[in-house]
Amino acid sequence: MEYIGEWMLHDMEEVGSTNDEVKKLSENIIGEKVIISAQRQINGRGRRGRTWIGLDGNLFFSQGLECDLNAIGALVFISTLSLWRTIQDLNPLLDVKLKWPNDVLVNDKKVSGMLLEKGEGKYLIIGIGVNIKISPNLVNMIYPCTSLHEEGVEVDRLDFLRSYIDNFNSYYGIWQNDGFEPIKQEWLTHAKGLNEAIVVHLDNEDTEGVFTGVDEQGALLLNTRTGIKKIYAGDVFYPQRKQIVNE
């Protein structure tokens, strides 16, 4: 066990899901900020009922902290921005983008995902997977994936986690002092597809429109043929830009 500032970090050998470990822990603690990471995760969960494959050498961790339920939107943005900063600092020339709501892309491929869940009492669990060494190359992936190693970045998983926590603390401080607006503005600066046509897939239904921003809760604002729609959940896709060919 080690402390990263106020955060108590426990790196475990093998878990089912780090989110479940923090959920269990949250039944017996009050006020503490905790992180559980694991060298192996054998039953990892992804968003929308999907599985998160636990490939050796990658980073799996969950943060547990007490906060108001209406802060969930802000926390998603604080966490993904912290991941963005951590990766960009490893190589300032790398193309690192944020994909609504909570993915990080390197060279347009997913390198990190996040699953937010509720713990006991006021605990919120932020579960993050980062492909440090290897990416799952499955035919039925809904989005292309990569790893930091495959993009030429070498980093130890716990060093990555320590830098992430430093960045998380900074952005969390900004949010506490100045509110969501500066977080939102910085997030939008690094968002993929802003002011471009996107497709949002939810429950077998596709909604098309121009991604114009996010609201104060973090909902995606989509300018559709029938007006601005607020999107609270879904998978975003970026259609290929049509090429205009002069014949």
Chain contacts with ligand BTN (rule: CB under 6 A): 17-19, 44-47, 50, 52, 60-62, 103, 113-115, 127-129
Cβ at position 143, least distance to ligand BTN in Å: 9
Write down the least CB distance from residue 91 to ligand BTN, Å. Answer: 22
- Name the minimum Å distance from CB 35 to ligand BTN: 11
49 vs 92, beta carbon nearer ligand BTN = 49
For residue 53, the minimal CB distance to ligand BTN (Å) is 9
Kindly state the helix (H) or strand (E) to which residue 158 belongs, with its residue range: helix 157-178
Q: What's the closest the beta carbon of residue 162 comes to ligand BTN, in angstroms?
A: 17
As measured in angstroms, the least distance from the Cβ of 104 to ligand BTN is 10
**AA letter at 179:** G
178 alpha-carbon distance from chain centroid = 22
Q: Which is nearer to ligand BTN, 72 or 210 (CB)?
A: 72
Which positions ≥6 away from 214 have C-beta within 8 Å? 77, 100, 184, 187, 188, 220, 221
Q: Which two tokens stand for residue 229?
A: 């729609």
Q: Which is nearer to ligand BTN, 47 or 122 (CB)?
A: 47
Q: Residue 65: which H helix or E strand, with range?
A: strand 59-66
CB of 115 to ligand BTN, least distance (A): 4
- CB-based closest residue to ligand BTN: 113
Residue (61 or 160) nearer to ligand BTN, CB: 61
Pick the closer one to ligand BTN by CB: 52 or 175. Answer: 52
Residue closer to ligand BTN by CB (options 64, 127) is: 127
Query: How far apart are the C-alpha atoms of 208 and 217, rounded to whole Å?
Result: 21
Measured distance CA(66)–CA(78) in Å, rounded: 15
3-state helix, strand, coil in the chain (%, to 5): 30, 35, 35
Least Cα distance to 220 among 208, 206, 231 occurs for 231
Q: Phi/psi at 138 (nearest 5 deg)?
A: -105, 150
**Identity of the residue, 74 or 128, whose beta carbon is nearer to ligand BTN in the bound complex:** 128
Measure the CA–CA gap between 6 and 79, rounded to whole angstroms: 17
Do residues 59 and 32 touch, judged by C-beta distance below 8 A?
A: no
Kind and range of the H or E element at 77? helix 72-90
